[in-house]
Amino acid sequence: MTVTGQDGAAPDAVLRPNRDLRAGPRVPAQPAPDPPAKADGTRGKPGTSGQKAPAKREKAAAKTRPPRRRRRLRPISPLTLRILAVNVLALGTLMGGLLYLGTYQQWLIGKELESLTTEARIFAGALGEGAIEPSFDEFNEPSSDLSYELARQMVRRLVETTDTRTRLFAPSGELVADSRVLGGPKSMVQIEELPPLRDGNPLSELGIRLYDYAVNAVPEREHLPAYPMESDMRADAFPDVQKALNGEIGNNVWRVARVDGRTDMLLTVAVPIQRYKKVLGAVYISRTGSEIDRAVREFRMDILRLFGGTLGVTVLLSLYLAGTIARPIRRLAEAADAVRTGHGRQATIPDFSRRRDEVGDLSVSLREMTAAIWNRMDAIERFAADVAHEIKNPLTSMRSAVETVQLVKTDEQRQRLLAIIHHDVQRLDRLISDISNASRLDAELSRANTEPVDVGQVLTMLADIHNVPLEHNAALGASTGQEGEAADAAPVRVQVDLPAGANLVVPGLEGRLTQVFQNLLSNALSFSPPGGTVTLRARAFADRVEATVEDQGPGIPEGKLAAIFDRFYSERPKSEAFGKHSGLGLSISKQIIDALQGRIFADNRKGPDGGIQGAVFTVVLPRG
């Protein structure tokens, strides 16, 4: 069956009468008529009335269109900054938790208090044995008291090898000995502890100053009690001393204000001096928390060194990661801008398809999208050229007939020319309608949402639409006794072959799929011989549904199996009048099936002898 053909040139049956009737002298073209008058009495110039409205619409659209935002070239990509911020923030949060070291510092303070307690108990035991002065009580019983002079001498000797300050309080709460005071508690000669010597390295000193400033900026010692003034050296000012005078061991951690406004930590322990369960006084030992602060500082410095190295590696890795993401995306964005604003096809999308990640997928998608845009533009250009060519053919024929109609002398020739003009007008109207439908098809398919469509029901419905009138006419002829119909006038029947119980539902557009099968059925009916049969079949597979339309016509010419789906290709049967088809039916069908991610193709049905017994059109639709 020769389904379609190219009607690019006007047929001889149409143009030959024009050539025969135009044998006389050529009549000069008539001047164009005046343009029609407008409602206000003025006349518009030809060709201008159709230009003002688009110009106004373009100006209105330009006013409402948002201004084009130019992409700024930034020295640092915002994506790079985000990656850096996320990685450094996570590392900084971990670093802040490590630098806090609250538990570690409390552990050091506990160990230091245990050490001071042991030292104070040794001092108290030594004083309780070596600084005792025998005496008698009020009942003339032998007793013992603490010799303050001996105690002061022993306190000075005991603390010579330690870095602690030791004080001795009497049971009355009075301070009787102080390791930092020479010559008794009222002496004016006092010993002051000098600050530790620096190592002389300016960078180390600067680092320590910055560290001290940062540590003191955080109020981590505000919860500690303030250490009493040196002028108030009675047991009442020290809760741990009062506890020791009651026979218990007391300790405390104090906050000491420095001259420069910063705060230090002071650890104190008070142990009772007892002899035969009698409290003879209290030993009060204190030591600054400088060693604890130094240990915490060194530990924090080690963490900071580790943090510095880790931060450097994190920044480098973040920059590398951002470079592998942000830089290709920036190149793709710039290339997309060049494609959008360029006037040619010199701009190309960078190829990152070798990357097995999302950036490579984006590159492939953009390249395919750009290729699809260029292909669509080429298709639009070819479509416009084909439309102009196809419209020009009937216009040329009409023009020839109109120019010749004034030269004819007989009514018969005039009627023939008028018939040609009428035929060309109908052909032009049909062609413009089909072109309009084809041009709107893309936009409609892009907006429509697919829904489940039963292919079997569509084929059955089309067969019933064709067969029911035939059966009605056959019944009517039998009732009137007109059964002797000629064999060449026998109608073409349509039969449906569907598997029982098969699932033939696919996602699609019911109206457009019906249009596709209706086009294929009409095409098959037009090429089927009288009394022939057109068979509609459908088969279900796991991933697809295949539907075929088979006829018993002459088949498709060799080499035209793919060309029949081209636009305006129309090669109709010889018995059919020229110009009844625009050649867009199969092209529109292919366009619909392609939009549904399916396939449509044609082939010839061969007989046992190898001869062509008809054409077969196959439609393959995916299930999802």
Residue 534 lies in a domain: yes
Q: How far apart are the C-alpha atoms of 296 and 107, rounded to whole Å?
A: 11
Closest Cα to residue 349, out of 357, 358, 362, 341? Answer: 362
> Residue 611, class by beta-carbon neighbours within 10 Å (0-12 exposed, 13-18 middle, 19+ buried)?
exposed
Backbone angles phi, psi at 261, to 5 degrees: 90, -10
Angle between helices 290-341 and 78-100 (to 10 degrees): 170
Q: Provide the domain limits for residue 146.
A: 108-191+209-288
| In contact, 131 and 123? CB cutoff 8 Å | no
Q: Looking at residue 231, which CATH number applies to its domain? A: 3.30.450.20
Residue 167 lies in a domain: yes
Q: How far apart are the C-alpha atoms of 177 and 168, rounded to whole Å?
A: 5
Closest Cα to residue 79, out of 317, 315, 330? Answer: 330
Which residues neighbour 267 within 8 Å (Cβ) at sequence distance 6 or greater?
A: 109, 112, 113, 116, 251, 252, 253, 254, 286, 287, 288, 289
Residue 16 lies in a domain: no
| In contact, 497 and 574? CB cutoff 8 Å | no
Backbone angles phi, psi at 285, to 5 degrees: -110, 135
Closest Cα to residue 564, out of 597, 523, 533, 598? Answer: 523
pLDDT computed for residue 33 by the predictor = 44
Pair of tokens at residue 514: 């019906």
Q: How far apart are the C-alpha atoms of 424 and 138, rounded to whole Å?
A: 150
Residue 151 lies in a domain: yes
pLDDT computed for residue 385 by the predictor = 75
Number of separate domains in the chain: 2
| In contact, 291 and 299? CB cutoff 8 Å | no
Q: How far apart are the C-alpha atoms of 203 and 41, rounded to whole Å?
A: 96
| In contact, 91 and 317? CB cutoff 8 Å | no
pLDDT computed for residue 488 by the predictor = 47
Pair of tokens at residue 340: 């959008």
| In contact, 610 and 548? CB cutoff 8 Å | no
Closest Cα to residue 364, out of 352, 376, 348? Answer: 352
**Which residue type occupies 324?**
T
pLDDT computed for residue 50 by the predictor = 42
Q: How far apart are the C-alpha atoms of 239 and 234, rounded to whole Å?
A: 10
Q: How far apart are the C-alpha atoms of 240 and 231, rounded to whole Å?
A: 18
User: Virtual CA dihedral for 566, 570, 572, 576, nearest 10 degrees?
Assistant: 140
| In contact, 594 and 581? CB cutoff 8 Å | no
Q: How far apart are the C-alpha atoms of 557 and 2, rounded to whole Å?
A: 6
Q: How far apart are the C-alpha atoms of 99 and 218, rounded to whole Å?
A: 12
Residue 425 lies in a domain: no
pLDDT along the chain (624 residues), means of 10: 40 36 38 43 41 49 48 62 78 70 83 92 87 61 72 84 87 87 57 55 68 65 81 83 92 84 86 86 90 84 82 84 83 86 77 84 88 82 73 79 80 83 80 73 76 92 85 64 52 89 89 89 86 91 92 83 76 52 75 88 84 89 86
Q: Based on C-alpha coordinates, what's the Rg of the chain?
A: 53
Q: How far apart are the C-alpha atoms of 392 and 397, rounded to whole Å?
A: 9
Q: Looking at residue 623, which CATH number applies to its domain? A: 3.30.565.10
Report the helix count and the strand count for the chain, using DSSP H and E: 13, 16
Going by DSSP bridges, is the β-strand pair 250-257/263-275 parallel, antiparallel, or unpaired? antiparallel
| In contact, 272 and 248? CB cutoff 8 Å | yes
- Domain stops at, among 288, 311, 326: 288
pLDDT computed for residue 475 by the predictor = 66
Closest Cα to residue 540, out of 454, 429, 423, 421? Answer: 454
- Domain stops at, among 243, 262, 288: 288
Tell me 600's DSSP state. Answer: E
Going by DSSP bridges, is the β-strand pair 132-136/142-146 parallel, antiparallel, or unpaired? antiparallel
Residue 324 lies in a domain: no
Closest Cα to residue 509, out of 466, 583, 458? Answer: 458
pLDDT computed for residue 431 by the predictor = 74
Residue 56 lies in a domain: no
| In contact, 235 and 242? CB cutoff 8 Å | yes
Task: Count CB atoms within 10 A of the CB of residue 342.
Answer: 11
| CA distances in angstroms from 411 to 17, 398, 401, 403, 404, listed in the order given | 14, 18, 14, 16, 13
- Domain stops at, among 266, 288, 310: 288
Beta strands, E only, 276-396: 278-288
| In contact, 152 and 130? CB cutoff 8 Å | no
Pair of tokens at residue 531: 């009394």
Q: How far apart are the C-alpha atoms of 82 and 481, rounded to whole Å?
A: 90
Residue 178 lies in a domain: yes
Q: How far apart are the C-alpha atoms of 297 and 303, rounded to whole Å?
A: 10
Q: How far apart are the C-alpha atoms of 624 and 472, rounded to whole Å?
A: 40
pLDDT computed for residue 546 by the predictor = 93
